[in-house]
Amino acid sequence: MKRFFVQRDRSAPPTNASVLRVGNTLFTGEDDFTSAFGELSSLEADLLLLASAVFAADRAYARGERESICRDFELSVPIVNQTRLYPLISLIERILHHLSNDAWKLEFRQESGTPEGRFRTVNKIGRTLLFSGGLDSFAAAIEFGKSPGSLQLVSHMTKNRINDASQKALYKILKSKGHKLKHYQCFISSRSGGVSDLQHDEENTQRTRSFLFLTLGALMARRSGHREIIYLAENGQMAIHLPLTQGRIGAFSTHTAHPEVLLNIQEFLSQVMNIKFQIVNPYVHRTKAEVVQVICGSAPEAIPIANSCWRNTRLPANVTHCGECIPCFIRRIAIEYNVTPDPTSYKCDPWAEDIVSLPPDDEARRNLADLTELIKRFERDDDEAILSEWPELFYAGINAPEVISMYRRFSAEARTVLEKYPGFGPLLA
């Protein structure tokens, strides 16, 4: 178990906790939010503090190996609006557990201040899109940016220069195509040091980022008068994210855009802000290739700029993708199904190798073997067998027939692409 203690002042923290101090080891995005919308209310400050602290604690606590991959968090946060947030603790803990597959225990300490009263904004027709700098959110900006009503783009930034550059460059392309969109970037991150010598970048999975991102999006939607829709655009493969094998269940697979998570976060944000938000993933039943097709038809020059790799902060200069993680493989299949060659700058190219000749513990070989196993399952098994293998498809918020159909289309797309590479022959047989 690891305890994190969040503070705004310099009061003495517990001796057994890692301290996240605002302005020192924790940056909540308040300055960027204030620059865009004016002075924060106490509830806005509370929610930015809570969401940034969750994200920072997630990054500062390294997972173990195998059966030790799950972690146990205690997070203490000072809050002004106790009457709004305290009744929602169990819902927040459930959301965080589903996101990261860890145990979370939250403590809200009463902080001095004036609770937010009735919040007034003009109710406008408009939507908010979480704009990450990836292919999916860029495609959504193309598709929905010219629809009736305004669309605003909200981006979360850390010190990741690749993502920051991608967000800015993609927004520039949208403007050049005639899209009149507002784009807000908000820096929310952490750093090492402080009174407890915090080590802030110990874990790179960042499973809880969507809790932060959606909280930020909802706060900006509220300020802009948007009530109905907050878009979190994620292709169906990465949103549903069925475990590739039984060895990847639980914390080994992400649920950052899972329908159940989005529904629970929607409930939390609607209750805490007293606004009936609707969080929608417009691509939950589309394959990545079907999403990329939107970009190829409108702005193909954006493909090498948009980023999909979760390892991009740890790559050499002039390289944007590792080339061996599952998101890189999903991306490459999607791009090469639509256009060849893939213009992405990858660190390595395992596709050019004889896959089965790579060492058994080689990560690219292991990922490719698991991915092709999933492809073959959806090619050969009927719907009943699929539902038996992945019982999470029975969740009420999932349209199982649509999801299975989406995975079958992905399998066909993947085989079309992978069969062009001789090294995949033994895996696809």
- List every span in the chain annotated with CATH 3.40.50.620: 126-191+207-280
Can you tell me the mean pLDDT for 279-287?
Answer: 95
- Predicted local distance difference test score (pLDDT) of residue 254: 66
- Predicted local distance difference test score (pLDDT) of residue 398: 94
Q: With 60 as the cut, is the pLDDT of residue 283 above it?
A: yes
Can you tell me the mean pLDDT for 332-349?
Answer: 94
Q: 165: buried, middle or exposed (CB in 10 Å: 19+, 13-18, 0-12)?
A: middle
Tell me if 111 sits within 8 A of 80, measured CB to CB: yes
- Predicted local distance difference test score (pLDDT) of residue 252: 52
More confident residue, 155 or 352: 155
- Predicted local distance difference test score (pLDDT) of residue 247: 56
Q: With 80 as the cut, is the pLDDT of residue 230 above it?
A: yes
DSSP 73-111: EEEEEEES-HHHHGGGHHHHHHHHHHHHSSEEEEEEEE-
Tell me if 290 sits within 8 A of 298, measured CB to CB: no
Q: Nearest 10 degrees: CA dihedral of 340, 346, 348, 354?
A: -20
- Predicted local distance difference test score (pLDDT) of residue 73: 96
Q: Which pair of tokens denotes residue 231? A: 């878009």
- Predicted local distance difference test score (pLDDT) of residue 248: 56
Q: Which pair of tokens denotes residue 9? A: 């002042």
Q: Which residue has the tokens 């009927």?
A: 382
As a whole-number percent, the residues of the chain with pLDDT over 90 amount to 70
Distances (CA, A) of 382 to 215, 386, 427: 39, 6, 21
Contacts of 195 (CB under 8 A, 6+ apart): 13, 19, 21
- Predicted local distance difference test score (pLDDT) of residue 86: 97
CA proximity to 137, closest of 173, 172, 167, 165:
167
Please state whether beta strands 26-27 and 229-231 pair in parallel, antiparallel, or not at all (unpaired).
unpaired
Q: Which pair of tokens denotes residue 26? A: 């924790």
Number of residues assigned to the chain: 429
Q: How confident is the model at residue 154 (pLDDT cuts 50, 70, 90)?
A: very high
Point out which residues pair with 21 in neighbouring strands.
7
Can you tell me the mean pLDDT for 176-203?
Answer: 93
Q: How confident is the model at residue 251 (pLDDT cuts 50, 70, 90)?
A: very low
Q: With 50 as the cut, is the pLDDT of residue 386 above it?
A: yes
Q: Which pair of tokens denotes residue 152? A: 């605003």
Q: Which of 295-299, 304-308, 356-360, 372-376 has the lowest mean pLDDT?
A: 356-360
Cis peptide before 426 (omega within 30 of 0): no
Could you read off the pLDDT of 260-278 as tens digits, one per residue?
Answer: 999 999 999 999 999 999 9
Can you tell me the mean pLDDT for 274-291?
Answer: 94
Q: How confident is the model at residue 174 (pLDDT cuts 50, 70, 90)?
A: very high
Distance, CA of 287 to CA of 276 (rounded, Å): 29
29-68 burial by CB neighbour count: b if 16+ within 10 A, else e?
Answer: bbebbeebbeebbbbbbbbbbbbbbbbbbbbbbebeeeee
Could you read off the pLDDT of 49-71 as tens digits, one per residue?
Answer: 999 999 999 999 999 877 678 89
Q: How confident is the model at residue 122 (pLDDT cuts 50, 70, 90)?
A: confident
CATH architecture of 126-191+207-280: 3-Layer(aba) Sandwich (3.40)
Q: Which of 18-27, 94-103, 141-150, 195-204 has the lowest mean pLDDT?
A: 141-150
More confident residue, 296 or 241: 296
Could you read off the pLDDT of 402-411 as tens digits, one per residue?
Answer: 999 999 999 9
Q: Which of 94-108, 233-247, 333-347 has the lowest mean pLDDT?
A: 233-247
Q: With 60 as the cut, is the pLDDT of residue 350 above it?
A: yes
Residue 175: in which H helix or E strand, if any?
helix 161-176
Asked whether the CA dihedral 2, 265, 101, 87 is positive or negative, the reply is: positive
Can you tell me the mean pLDDT for 120-147?
Answer: 89
Can you tell me the mean pLDDT for 270-292?
Answer: 95
CA proximity to 205, closest of 106, 304, 77, 313:
313
Q: Which residue has the tokens 């008068």?
A: 225
Give the type of residue at 101: N
Could you read off the pLDDT of 87-111 as tens digits, one per residue?
Answer: 999 999 999 999 999 999 999 999 9
* SS3 category, 413: helix
4: left (phi over 0), alpha (psi -120 to 50) or beta: beta
